[in-house]
């Protein structure tokens, strides 16, 4: 049985974050890593780092029907992965410990901080799915009937052939008009997923919103908060400087070219 880690790289504006993410991963993981790239620039950047970081770089066609296509493209990864048990990590993450427990259940999903389905922000996002289809309306009502963990799909894992992931893709397409459509689709779906386990935000720790005092295994900067927010920068920037010193993937030459927040600090 092969366990592997996968990333999705949809555009060069995340280039610095991708290099840092994979460099941090290699401090804790010797197993296989695949990066799925959907653009020429993304593929070129990853191939420049492939030998040093021991990456399998694959070019894939993105889902192009909607402006939120990157969210839908993420839901295609279960059909692309070459591994028996797969861990997906967003490119705006860094790894700081052992994440092996995430491979164990058929579906491992992670909670975002201590947020809940009945919270003001999450409940508002869930409500936008009401009326899309009768089945989705029923799922919305269930999610809002009691307090469930708020799910974040920046970190999740699954076993090969897990059938509910096809449903996740179909739901994401149905809700494509909504932002974060893959995340909200999983929020509505996870209660129906057999064998799933919700892991605490120790495995998906936000330097901005998490209140857990346990040492984080995976830090998730969710967007530009890797540099724009000081709490994120305090963790992310030293790893970035290591990458520059070692010139991983030529980053010493191009750092700040695509990430405007990094450019402002350099």
Structural domain boundaries in the chain:
3-113+149-260
CA 38, CA 131: separation in Å to the nearest integer? Answer: 32
pTM over 0.85: yes
The region of weakest confidence among 60-69, 104-113, 231-240 is 60-69
The kind and range of the H/E element at 153 are strand 149-159
Q: Which of 99, 107, 106, 85 is nearest to 4 (CA)?
A: 85
Secondary structure (H, E, C), 45-82: HHHHHHHHHCCEEEECCCCCCCCCHHHHHHCCHHHHCC
pLDDT tens for each residue of 55-67: 999 999 887 766 6
The CATH classification number of 3-113+149-260 equals 3.90.550.10
**Span 177-192, mean pLDDT?**
92
pLDDT at 214: 87
For 223, left (φ over 0), alpha (ψ -120 to 50), or beta? left
Say if residue 74's pLDDT is above 80.
yes
């Amino acid at each position: 049985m092969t366990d592997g880690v996968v990333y999705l790289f949809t555009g060069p504006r995340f280039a610095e974050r991708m290099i840092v993410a994979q460099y941090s991963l290699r401090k804790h993981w010797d197993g296989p890593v695949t990066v799925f790239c959907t653009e020429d620039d993304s593929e070129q950047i990853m191939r420049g780092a492939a030998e040093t970081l021991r990456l399998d770089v694959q070019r894939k066609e993105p889902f192009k029907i909607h402006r939120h296509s990157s969210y839908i493209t993420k839901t295609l990864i279960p059909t692309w992965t070459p591994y028996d048990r797969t861990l997906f990590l967003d490119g705006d993450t860094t790894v700081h410990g052992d994440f092996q427990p995430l491979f164990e259940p058929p579906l491992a999903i992670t909670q975002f901080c201590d947020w809940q389905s009945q919270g003001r922000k999450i409940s508002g996002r869930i409500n936008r799915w009401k009326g899309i289809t009768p089945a989705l309306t029923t799922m919305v009502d269930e999610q809002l009937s009691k307090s469930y963990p708020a799910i974040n799909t920046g970190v999740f894992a699954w076993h090969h052939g897990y059938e509910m992931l096809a449903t996740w893709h179909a739901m994401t397409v149905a809700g494509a008009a909504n932002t974060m459509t893959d995340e909200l689709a999983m929020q509505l779906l996870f209660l129906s997923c057999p064998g799933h386990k919700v892991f605490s935000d120790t495995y998906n720790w936000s330097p901005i919103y998490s209140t857990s005092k346990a040492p984080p295994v995976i830090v998730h900067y969710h967007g530009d908060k890797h540099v724009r927010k000081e709490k994120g920068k305090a963790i992310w920037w030293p790893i970035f400087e290591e990458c520059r010193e070692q010139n991983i993937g030529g980053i010493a030459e191009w750092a700040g070219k695509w990430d405007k927040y990094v450019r402002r600090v350099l």
